Each structure stands twice: as structure tokens, then as C-alpha cells.
Amino acid sequence: MNITLLCSDVNHPIFTYLESWKKANSHKHNIQLVTRVKDVSESGDILFLVSCSEIVRAQTRDLFQYCLVLHASDLPEGRGWSPHVWDILNDKDYITLSLLDAEDKVDTGDIWQKKTILLEGTELYDDINKKLFDAELELITWASEHIFDATSEPQKESQTSYYRKRTPNDSELDPKQTIEQQFNLLRVCDPNRFPAFITINNTRYNVRLEKADD
């Protein structure tokens, strides 16, 4: 099978997972891992869009029998940006990962599979990512093995909700609130790209949360 993985940013934490998946499955499939739509030049069986920030037009999608997106929400609820982050901030103790068809209208395609990822409430950013990314690789593997024999289901538009795109300012802590009140925000902030921070006396301080050694 000819498979292409499209991830827009080599610095995104999922990228190394995709590299590992490609290496582990290269004996079964012809796999390309690219970072730009313009690098998708050959036709194939499946194009996976994983943390892809570019718009992928029908001209590119039509090169493949299937063009699939991984989206971390229980679609059609949670369309939009960083849905699992918003869900955790809203005190959910699980993440739902959806595998769907890519369409011109973002996050509207038919659903092939969903996977529920349970959270204990103690996971920090890296822990959350590992659980999410492991689940994403499981769905990529599932699609690679079963997509031709599976059936998708359309989304129910009556249940639709949207999340806005997060900005670096969304990582700002409120000095008047307790750590406990803001614990979920501390958990989901990317400590390298979008660290939590606090502003006191017109000075910004980054805040990093780490688990103590057992």
C-alpha cells in the first residue's frame, strides 16, 4: 500500500512518532512523510493529515483513494482548533479521537473510527501527548489494514460545536487564582512552544510544571 503522512511542522511533538511509525511499517507499506502540500506529488492509497495546518485542496486529495484526518474531539462536537486542550480545560477526564474523511469544509467529513482515551487527571503535557499520539498511531494502523473493508458514517449536523484557535496569550495564568484552580491550564501548556506564564509588575515570568521524582 502507498501511504503518505502529511504533518506541517517537524517541531510538532507528533512528528517523531510519525517517523517511528514509518520506520516500523516500512516493510509492509511504501510510506512517505512530508511537511508541505506541494511535496505530495505522487498518487497513492491513503493520505493522512496529522497536525496539518495547510489547506489541502481536492486536487491533492483526489490523488488518493482515501484522505483521512485525525481530530481529537467527539465529532461533530469540538470542530476547530486544539479540541482536546479545550476539553481538558473544561474538566473532561477523557479525550475522544476521531478518524474522518478530509473535506473542503474543515472537520465535516464522514467518520470511520473513534477512540476514547481516559485521563487520570495527573497527566502533564508530555503525558497527555503520549496517550493521544499513541492512539493516533493506532488509528493510522487500523486504517492501513481495514479501510478498504470498513464503512464510514456521516456526522449529525444538529450536534455541531466549534472551538476557536488558541493563541500564546491563552497560556497566561491569573495571579489572583490558586494553582489548583488553574491546574488544568498548567497541564496543557506546551512548555517549549507555548509555556504557561504570569505577569507581575509588568514583567512576564514563564511557569513550568514538572512531576517530582517518585
pLDDT at position 28 over 80? yes
State which residues form the domain around 29. 2-163
* The pLDDT of residue 169: 95
pLDDT tens-digit profile of 33-86? 999 999 997 899 999 999 998 889 999 999 999 999 999 999 999 999 999 999
Confidence band of 159 (pLDDT split at 50, 70, 90): confident
Other CB atoms within a 10 A radius of the CB of residue 164 amount to 10
Same domain, 196 and 111: no
Same domain, 24 and 123: yes
Strands 79-80 and 162-163: parallel
Same domain, 36 and 93: yes
Decide: 73 and 79 in contact? Cβ < 8 Å.
Answer: yes
Q: Cα–Cα distance between 120 and 133 in angstroms, integer?
A: 17
C-alpha cell at 188: 496543557
Answer whether residue 212 is part of any domain: no
Section 121-146 average pLDDT: 97
Q: Cα–Cα distance between 141 and 179 in angstroms, integer?
A: 39
Answer whether residue 213 is part of any domain: no
pTM for the model stands at 0.92
Work out the angle at residue 123's Cα, subtended by the Cα atoms of residues 48 and 15, and round it to the nearest 5 degrees. 25
* The pLDDT of residue 214: 56
